[in-house]
Structure 1
Amino acid sequence: MVNTAHPSVDRVRDALRAHGIDPEIRWFDDAATTAAAAAEALGVDVGAIANSLVFTLDGEPLLVLTSGAHRVDAAWLGDRLGGTIGPASKDLVKQATGQVIGGVAPLGHPSPLRTLVDVALAEFPVVWAAAGHAHTVFPTTFDELVRITGGEATAVAT
């Protein structure tokens, strides 16, 4: 039996409810720390997985919600945003999101993060995002991700 109690997941659930969403959070028996693993566990296309990746943009945390079907082109995206994008350390990810790598949700963070939402996710009627823990996901839509995160819809790769 999977333990379904976790403070990070509770914060994500509360944040979803604050946006008028009654979340259907699914717990996996095993961690799904990659888009491929989550897609396999759900029986969906890997492109329907919304990876929550934390970068730095000129030293500030930047959350990029990208389709699991491709990688963020950090140099290209940095040029488009007029800055330098780099990897965030695991400590910065934890500090900025309150969650650990592999389970970072699009919301439920200590304070709002600038968020970019990959337009490639719009191809799927349902997308799946982590719910604050590597064993959790919740279903949503592209439009809902943009709304609940206050994110900017944009291409994140060429």
Structure 2
Amino acid sequence: MQPHPNVQAVQRALDDAGARSGSGEASLVRLLPEAVHTAAAAAEALGVAVGAIANSLIFDADDAPLLVLTSGAHRVDTAGLAATLGVTHLRRASPEFVKRHTGQVIGGVAPVGHPAPLRTVVDTALAGYDEVWAAGGVPRAVFPTTYAELLRITAGTPAEVA
């Protein structure tokens, strides 16, 4: 079976960046038996701590997309993050906004593989895990990586987001 085009785009972006997993091997997108729409479901399916799941959340930051890669163990403090970033309005994006800027649907948004690079913030809480897992372009696709790799492959800015 041919992988979904979003999964192919994510794997291509990982390959192009030379992305590595926590074990030092190449990051490969894996398909889970079922879709996982929450960090808790992903953690259970992978047998890892919920904090090791890197949620890819898209926000509307003064009408521009902002990708926040946050630990699945907590929620984003939007007021605090807006102040840190110097934006006036920071709110969860609509499904249409997410799809337009990422080409992916909520629940499967990956850190990479978008039509154009996105301004990205990476939660410093993810640094506490040797390996983290991120979505791979569709709700049942994931890939292993590290905090340092997420910063590198997304050109992200580290920040406390909770």
Q: What's the TM-score, normalizing by structure 2?
A: 0.93
1:69 — aligned with what? 73
Q: In the alignment, is residue 60 of structure 1 matched against residue 64 of structure 2?
A: yes
Tell me how far apart the structure 2 counterparts of residues 39 and 125 of structure 1 sit (CA, whole Å).
15
CA-based RMSD: 1.0
Residues 76 and 28 from structure 1, CA distance in 2 versus in 1: closer, same or farther, beyond 3 angstroms? same
Equivalent of 2:11 in 8, 13, 22:
13
| CA offset digits 1:59-94 (Å, max 9, x no partner) | 100000000000001011111212120111101100
Alignment match, 1:23: 27
Superposed displacement of residue 25, structure 1: 1.6
SS in 2 for 1:56: strand
Counterpart CA distance in 2 for 1:9 and 1:75 is 33
Give 1:4 shift: 5.8
Partners of 1:155 and 1:4 in 2: CA distance? 38
**What residue is the counterpart of 2:22 in the other structure?**
none
| Distance in structure 1 (CA, Å) of the matches to 2:115 and 2:27 | 19
Identify the range of structure 1 (65-74 vs 77-86) with the bigger mean alpha-carbon deviation.
77-86
SS in structure 2 opposite 1:146?
helix
Match 2:105 to one of 100, 107, 115? 100
Counterpart residue type for residue 128 of structure 2: E
How many pairs does the alignment contain? 155
Q: What amino acid sits opposite 2:136 in the alignment?
A: A
Deviations 1:130-153 (A, max 9, x none): 010100100000000000000001
Q: Which runs of 5+ in 2 are unaligned?
A: 20-25
Aligned to 2:45: 41
Query: 3-state SS of the aligned residue for 2:40?
Result: helix
Describe the SS at the equivalent of 1:24.
coil
Q: Structure 1 stretches of 5 or more lacking a match?
A: none
Query: In the alignment, is the contact (CA less than 8 A) between 1:4 and 1:27 conserved in 2?
Result: no
Q: For residues 79 and 112 of structure 1, what CA distance do their matches in structure 2 show? A: 23
